[in-house]
Amino acid sequence: MIQEYDQEGIVTSGDLRASVGALVSFNLHDLVDGYIGGYWGISRCLFLSILFWGIFSVMWDMVPSLPLFAFGWLLGTAPLWLPVAALITAWKVWIWYARSGFLFTRDAMLLEVKMPRDVTRSPRAMENALSKLWTDSGETTFLNRIWQGQVRPYFSLEIASFGGQIHFYIWCWRAWRPTVEAMMYAYYPEVEMVEAEDYASKFRFDPETQDAFPTDWRYEPRNDAYPIKTYIDFELDKDPKEEYKIDPLSEVLERMGTLKPSEQMWIQIVITMSRDKRRKKGGAFYQTEDRFEGLLKETIDSIRKETVGNPDDPHDKWRSYARVPMHRYTELIKSMDRNLGKHPFNVGMRGVYIADSKDFSAQGYTGMRWIWRTLGNPQYMNQLRPRRWGNPFDWPWQDFNSMRWNLMVRRYFDTYRRRSHFYSPYIMPHNMMSTEVLATIWHPPSAAVGTPGIARIPAKKAEPPANLPT
């Protein structure tokens, strides 16, 4: 539950009702994360710490030797819990060490994708291209994963604007360069891919003269089975004429193209093959299933049951006879069924707005936070909502003298440079998205996108005549 204010900044009656509901519901999650966290800006850790020490103080007053008793109890039961805790800790430390050693030896590179003047293919071509990156190469066996610390390859699709000049990048391990180039040239032969200097690594943030607002984007308000609007909803799967195309990246690139010379905006989409598992619903405790497939099937079934109603409820039984078609249900099931047949990726999305202190403004970073709004459908599907990093700091007591803010900014730039999201040193929440969704939020923009800041190749490439003398 997140409290919202009206345009004048005054708490509305809806806010008051929601707050009272959280207090009387006795739901600890709503109380701590919603009312205390969302409304008052007090972190879960701080609130629970105060609650714990308050209860502990009351018990200490009732039991004068409580600290000694607790210590003696822990010491006496140590033969039971200490070996288990030591084994779990040793296992986690080894996994962290092995994976860190493996990732440290990877030779990473950044490829800039230079766009031609005319891109005639729809994002469906990008969807097919991304399927090539759906691989678990390197972590096939238990020995690969645990002893050698190998992880499946992950890639980063990036868009960066430097003072309004927009560039597209693909970050990968150097060994995967032939694969990345082949997938792009196969579907977009007009583009050029050249190795570029890593803009994130060479950038040095100066807090004395610059400000930055980092964020990431997560699926909300529903689970990963509900997608956002994709290029198919924009009818780009039909390859219309250029004058009729509505590219879903148009507004994103236009916003990035209007930056001042002292401003920058970076967007990073880190992807890897989805192998998430969950316990199979209705199966034995040891049975698992693919989380993406299971979640989609479960959600589709629940939507279908919602359309026919509850036959045991006399007030709801009419649905099973009427079968009234609803656009919402029809579009949801069509979209989910379509995504079920496509490759799923684990996806982490993050972005940052950087500017000189004199040009840094709320309008600048707000435009970056909600840059994906045109692709959202929060009414009955999903949207990409800004979450972590700079977003939680709304109240003055959340951050004394900007100490937490500066720490977050430093950590963010380190995370961005490493392209870290799924493995140490930064493991963060992610969403599952199909290739259809990914192709919507990152693809070579068509000629219908007239943003002047996009660096395009001035001439088309063509094969040389076959009869040229050698």
How far is the C-alpha of 348 from the C-alpha of 387, rounded, in Å? Answer: 12
Encoding tokens for residue 255? 């916003």
User: Which range has the worst mean pLDDT, 2-6, 83-87, 389-393, 408-412?
Assistant: 2-6
Contact 316, 309 (CB under 8 A): yes
Number of structural domains found in the chain:
2
Residues 165 and 267 in one domain: yes
Band (pLDDT 50/70/90 cuts) for residue 8 is: very low
Indicate whether 323 and 367 sit together in one domain: no
User: What is the value of pTM for the model shown?
Assistant: 0.86
pLDDT band at 7 (very low <50, low <70, confident <90, very high): very low
Q: Are residues 341 and 289 in the same domain?
A: no
170 φ/ψ angles, rounded to the nearest 5 degrees: -130, 120
Chain centroid offset of residue 220 CA: 11
pLDDT mean over 138-151: 86
Whether pLDDT at 6 is above 60: no
Q: Could you tell me the pLDDT band of residue 1, with boundaries at 50, 70 and 90?
A: very low
Residue where a domain stops, chosen among 286, 302, 327: 327
Please, are residues 103 and 423 in contact by the beta-carbon 8 Å criterion? yes
Contact 78, 127 (CB under 8 A): no
pLDDT of 264 higher than 90? yes
Give the end-to-end CA distance of the chain in Å, rounded to a whole number: 71
pLDDT at 194 over 60: yes
Residue 465 lies in a domain: no
Task: Clarify whether residues 366 and 236 are in a common domain.
Answer: yes
**Predicted local confidence at residue 237, as pLDDT:** 79
Phi, psi of 203 (to 5 degrees): -75, 135
Q: Which domain holds residue 123?
A: 109-276+337-457
The answer to whether residues 148 and 244 touch, using CB atoms and an 8 Å cutoff, is no
Would the pLDDT of 172 be above 60? Answer: yes
> Between 158 and 404, whose confidence is greater?
158
Instruction: Check whether residue 268 and residue 283 sit in a common domain.
Output: no
Distance from the Cα of residue 175 to its chain's centroid: 26
Give residue 231's pLDDT band: very low, low, confident or very high (50, 70, 90).
very high
What pLDDT, on a 0 to 100 scale, did the predictor assign at position 15?
62
pLDDT tens figures, 426-435: 999 999 999 9
Confidence bin at 449 (pLDDT 50/70/90): confident
How many whole angstroms separate alpha carbon 219 and alpha carbon 292? 14
The pLDDT, as a whole number, for residue 144 is: 87
Q: Is the pLDDT of residue 462 over 80?
A: no
Higher-pLDDT residue of 208 and 42 is 208
Average pLDDT of every residue of the chain: 85
Residues 197 and 318 in one domain: no
**Domain contains 265:** yes
Whole-angstrom distance, CA of residue 144 vs CA of residue 15: 52
* pLDDT greater at residue 118 or residue 438: 438
The residue among 264, 295, 327 that closes a domain is: 327
Q: Is residue 469 part of a domain?
A: no
Please say if the pLDDT value at position 174 is more than 90.
yes
CA atoms of 196 and 127, how far apart (whole Å): 24
Please report where in the chains the tokens 């930064």 appear, as a residue. 426
The answer to whether residue 239 sits within a structural domain is yes
- Encode pLDDT of 329-364 as tens digits: 888 899 999 999 999 999 999 999 999 999 998 888
Q: What pLDDT is stored for residue 12 in this prediction?
A: 63
Under 8 Å CB-to-CB from 434, ≥6 apart: which residues? 227, 339, 342, 343, 344, 345
| 174 lies in the same domain as 214 | yes
- Cis preceding-peptide flag for 221 (omega within 30 of 0): yes
193 and 147 share one domain: yes
Is residue 381 a part of any domain in this protein?
yes
391 located within any domain? yes
H or E element, residue 21: helix 13-24
Look at 216 and 242; give whichever has higher pLDDT: 216
- Name the H helices within 230-361: 250-257, 291-308, 319-322, 327-340
Give yes or no: residues 240 and 321 share one domain.
no
DSSP for 93-136, written as a single string? HHHHHHHHHHHHT--EEEEEEEEES---S-HHHHHHHHGGG---
What is residue 318's predicted lDDT score, i.e. its pLDDT? 66
Residue 402 included in any domain: yes
- Check if the beta carbon of residue 293 is closer than 8 Å to that of residue 345: no
Tell me, yes or no, whether 29 lies in a domain. no
257 and 288 in one domain? Answer: no
Query: Tokens 């071509």 label which residue?
Result: 125
Do 438 and 371 fall into the same domain? yes
